[in-house]
Amino acid sequence: MNYALFVAPPNCSSGIDDRLLPLNPEICKSLSELRTSQPLLLERYLSTALRAVSENKVAVLLLAGGQGTRLGVSYPKGLYKPNLPSGRSLYQLQAERLHRVSHLCKEKFGKTPSITWYIMTSEHTKETTVQFFKSSNYFGHNCDNIVFFEQYTLPAFSLDGRILLQTKSKLTSAPGKIPITFHVD
């Protein structure tokens, strides 16, 4: 495998930065802008999205591989409860949003969709995350519609190109970039 494809040297420029342009502001609108200036367009967007969900054409991908160390906790960040009055975890908040979308689909189209929820974990967070979902009864979701998977990892290299070792007989690995996350054997 050519690892140079994954890590560009610090002084390497592909020239793409020179070709990237900002998006046209006319196509970038905030929700609040659409609510006030183009409510019919917003309604069309919402209806199109809900129709796709109701036809089971939409899945949810949650990139939740990391620990909550930057949040000051030693467990997976999805278990973190961000001091809300409800005491809900980040995972529970996401689960409730999915329930809300399902409810909106049922109201608008008369059928409850089957939304598959893909949750990317890491080798360090997967077991705890899966157990948390089990103990929370999958937050009312069908467990068959929740897929846990580990982020793809690659051997880690030092800045001078040497492979880093975790122990004398074990390589250090690091998460792959997002395109590698979806690596298929």
List pLDDT tens digits, range 34-93.
Answer: 899 999 999 999 999 999 999 999 999 999 878 888 888 999 999 999 999 999 999 999
Cβ atoms of 105 and 111 closer than 8 Å: yes
Instruction: Domain ranges for the chain, please list them.
Output: 33-67+75-151, 152-185
Mean pLDDT over the full length of the chain: 85
In this predicted structure, what is the pLDDT of residue 184? 44
**Pairing of the two strands 165-167 and 170-171:** antiparallel
Closest CA to 76 of 126, 6, 115, 8: 126
Alpha helices in the chain (DSSP H): 16-19, 31-37, 39-54, 90-109, 126-135, 178-181
124 or 180, greater pLDDT: 124
Q: Is the pLDDT of residue 175 over 90?
A: no
Q: What is the pTM of this model?
A: 0.74
Q: Is the pLDDT of residue 151 over 90?
A: no
Percent of the chain past pLDDT 90, that is, above it, reads 55
Length of the chain measured in residues: 185
